[in-house]
Amino acid sequence: MTIHIGAQQGDIAETVLMPGDPYRAKWAAENFLQNAQLVNEVRGMLGYTGSWNGHRVTIQGSGMGMPSLSIYANELIRDFGAKTLIRIGSCGGMQPQVKLRDVILAMTASTVGSPSHSIFKDVNFAPAADWSLLQAAAQAAQSREIGIHVGGIYSSDTFYDERPDLNEQMVRHGILGVEMEAAELYTLAARYQCRALAVLTVSDHLGTGEALPSEQRERSFGDMVEIALEAAFS
């Protein structure tokens, strides 16, 4: 047990999928894993371990934002031995070619300041996905009838943004979408020699103001879970 994860040693698999929403962890475990067992409910941040095609998998909620994800990812890696961590979540589209329901595989995650920012001092560290996961996820996504984009995303600290000029610069520099967690996940994976990837569904678009209706979010979420699982075990 750790401060934020009530699981026993051995309860957490080496491969962990991390949705922001703990109820999404429950939904994914119930719909995609065999013999899923609840392994954490501290603070309602649900985590389940089960199996997929004979492979052991944990699906653990991360909460929203880099400080929350950082707590769970640190404990999963340092205390429970997680080795492959895949964020499955939503993002806001930033480029015109990025449409609602498309999936973005985040090759890099730019950020103003993650919880790890202070250790780099004047270096702008470049958080990047694990290549083997990225390649496998791109292959898994290509066989589906969804738009797929691979490139840079922006991990913001705010959902209700008071600095639209930052978004403008991100758009100008080709950033595909905005979310709030991946940069810290990639940084921790680099620090502890783990593999990490963020698989993101475009749930809204900053340019057009469109947003995905809630019934379509579930179907998109299922695509992401399958892409993440196939990538993890390819």
- Which residues are annotated as catalytic? 204
Pick the closer one to ligand HPA by CB: 111 or 187. Answer: 111
Q: What is the DSSP string of 117-128?
A: GGGGTT-----B
Among 180, 185, 188, 194, binds ligand HPA (CB under 6 A): 180
3-state secondary structure of 155: strand
Examine residue 40 and tell whether it contacts ligand HPA (CB under 6 A): no
Examine residue 178 and tell whether it contacts ligand HPA (CB under 6 A): yes
CA distance 101 to 201: 6
Examine residue 90 and tell whether it contacts ligand HPA (CB under 6 A): yes
Check residue 209 and report its DSSP letter: -
Q: Which long-range contacts (CB under 8 A, 24 or more apart) does 129-134 make?
A: 129/105, 129/186, 129/196, 129/197, 129/198, 130/84, 130/189, 130/195, 130/196, 130/197, 132/195, 133/84, 133/86, 133/195, 133/196, 133/197, 133/231, 133/232, 134/105, 134/107, 134/197, 134/231
Pick the closer one to ligand HPA by CB: 75 or 179. Answer: 179
Among 79, 157, 204, 230, binds ligand HPA (CB under 6 A): 204
Tell me how far, at minimum, the Cβ of 197 lies from ligand HPA, in Å: 17
CA distance 151 to 104: 8
CA distance 73 to 60: 9
Examine residue 159 and tell whether it contacts ligand HPA (CB under 6 A): yes
Pick the closer one to ligand HPA by CB: 178 or 183. Answer: 178
Among 84, 156, 187, 220, binds ligand HPA (CB under 6 A): 156
Q: Under rule CB under 6 A, how many of the chain's residues touch ligand HPA?
A: 11
Query: Which residue is closest to ligand HPA by CB?
Result: 92
Among 77, 91, 107, 129, binds ligand HPA (CB under 6 A): 91
Given the rule CB under 6 A, which residues bind ligand HPA?
Answer: 90-92, 156, 159, 178-180, 203-204, 206
